[in-house]
Structure 1
Amino acid sequence: MLSDAINSGDKDEATKYLDQLLDLKLPVCVKINPEAYSEDSIRLRVGVADAASDAHIPITVMVPVYMTISELKEKISRDYGFHPALQRWVISKRLAQDRETLYHYGVRNHDDSAFLFILSAQASGWSCPGCTFMNKPTRPGCEMCSTARPDNYKVPDIYQPDEAETRRLQQEELASLQYKQSVKDERERNFQELLETDSRSLVGNVDELDCAICFCTIMPGEGAVLRECLHSFCRECLKETVLNCTDAEVACPYRDDAYSCNCKLQDREIRSLLSQDEYQKFLELRLNIAESRSENSYHCKTPDCAGWCIFEDDVNEFTCDICNETNCLLCKAIHKGMNCKEYQDDLRIRAQNDDAARQTTEMLDQLLKNGEAMNCPKCQVIVQKKDGCDWICCLMCKTEICWVTKQARWGPQGAGDTSGGCRCRVNGVLCHPRCQNCH
């Protein structure tokens, strides 16, 4: 309303509103409408200086008198690259404020003067070490020759990017986000591809290659790449390698003059190469090899039974999971329905008319003579030592026996009675020089 009164020239109305403002004691800023000024631009002479030099560089700019100092700073930033935050204007010996106009500071005619001080020459940007072009502070590389920004240059804390720089920074941030997303997507694709590859029993070759065994050319997908060492072969050569292997583990067949691969084929690779029957035979071979290499193995005495076990020192019987027969580890025989003494007595009786029984009896007698078997010191049944330590236990009377001394392990009072038996480790002395731990 005050502006309407002033525009209409109503002095009394304007005075009334002015008195009301005075009573309210409000801070007021009066700005003259640009329409009140001449629309013609004037020629403003500007002296430019910075902290690094005492010399003034004269420039001339065309400006309207109603232009604010803030607008003037933006114009200088666009035309010469000096950011508004770095500009300090002195007009009519006064430090110009952003909201005031040139007219306010007396700039009204051609060739009126003003002074522009640049806070820091470095703050206005960085000079390219390659081509000396002055780049804006936030640019990571030279706009002209792409040379990297010097490592020792730091963007001033007071620096505020102009509109063009803001757009560029936004585009760079968007490009960075897109790049990070593409990297994330690529990692996800690689992970899914890895999962898909891991789910295969046998990994096929992607490229055409020559088999290192038969030297035949293998087309993509027709060969196999071993997981452990990444060596590639044709499937037929790998299959023959597995079938002719006499070891429990199948080694990679790669060989050359300088190197021999020791990596092993995985079980799922072997299963994929062989037929069901071939794989079953391979498993049986593995079991036979494991049995032959085990010190404490015992094979079931049932004819043609493939069952076997690995026994501990305190185990005297083995029930076969295949034929369900119980094997006596001390008699090395199956005597179903009889204890050890009854079995051995039965052998002696049957030995008179049964060649097999006689041979078994003769074998037991020979074992006794050779020291490979002994009579239990309590019930006199024949017992044999299993592999391992010198402790055995009679299945008939449960007497604990010291094999090396052929005596009971303990005295008449049982376990812990050192008044009798082999007296091993009494006063720290072994029961026999060749004692192998009779417990």
Structure 2
Amino acid sequence: MSILTPTTTIADAFSALLIGEIPFRFTAYDGSSAGPEDSVFGLHLKNERGMSYLVTAPGDLGLARAYVMGDLELVGAHPGDPFAALSHIKGSKTGLKFRAPSPSEALALIRTVGVANLKPPPIPATEHAPRWRRLMEGFLHSPERDAEVIHHHYDVSNRFYELVLGPSMTYTCACFPAEDSTLEEAQFHKYDLVAQKLDLKPGQRLLDVGCGWGGMVRHAVKHYGVTALGVTLSAEQASWAQQKIKEDGIDDRAEVRHLDYRHVTENDFDAVSSIGLTEHIGVANYPAYFGFLRDRLKPEGRLLNHSITRADNKKTATGAFIDRYVFPDGELTGSGRMITEIQDAGLEVHHEENLRMHYAKTLAGWNAYLVENWDECVAEVGEETARVWGLYIAGSRMGFETNEIQLHQVLATKTTPDGASGYPLRPTWTP
């Protein structure tokens, strides 16, 4: 017997198709409601366009579209930090999983939502094309395509990133030396940890691939006396970094180029750092990537790879929301696969560590900055983009806290054919 009838309300349909009990209060524009009245958090479907997003793209993508466009409101949560609300929903026994309606229920559902709402609304302007369409338009991870997707994510607005990332202008996992360390202290400590693992010394040469706004380049030059080259595919990042390097008075030893790492022609670097780039290059390209970095090193030189990973070594593609709104073409795999590829490239792995909970704390800091600077962020990039970032940062934080994703640093050397690595018997840095 069908649960849905021609007189079903939107809330009735939501309740009937949700697997399990509703863990929050749900309300809709037709005046219907469902779920516990005393719930701290709730979902409010504000209009018919939001309904159209939900029924034409079932699952996370439809929910994300309606939320990003402001048609689905997360009650009890600031759009800059929906972490608590998302955790409440995911922490329930059911979460947000729906079953498919029976044929008779589908007909009743059409009567409830209206035939007009079965036509997909225009997708949000911040949404990237689906992966299948991008595959038709060019080779995955070609230099041209990588430049396009990096532009999509990183060339939003340098001012926006300043507001969200804080004074360090560092968009990678920090490393907190103590539980109560500030985000800025933790980002400084992260750069220092990388420098110490690479055993940087005055006069040495460092290559930082995927250098962002030049944080590692500037830290290594100012605090370790090296000469450093950073490269990034983001024109906005390169421009910001170049200006900062001049302001710091270190442009005689520090350089950031707007350049694909594959076009770096110099070699014989004492050290190479890759902080947050591996997520963008594609798992199939790991052999070429680590081989290229190996060839940039002098014998006994060191490589530090800092990358988000999965908790296992199976799945690689990201989910629909991340792929469409945040990191188009992004892929993740486990630390085991990462280490295997580094070893197969001819590098000797000496040390690895998981900074998973450090990234959860880093993301909490970014959410806090986004909330604090919400009005200016919206004025800078628009509410649609600001909502994407609030959802993305909070969702990522939840992934790190629940061990769905991790952050691993892997340290390796270009060991010579006769076994000389330059690596001491015990690490010289303080973990």
Q: Same fold (TM over 0.5)?
A: no
Q: In proportion to residue count, which structure has more helix? A: 2
Higher relative contact order (CA 8 A, sep 6+): 2
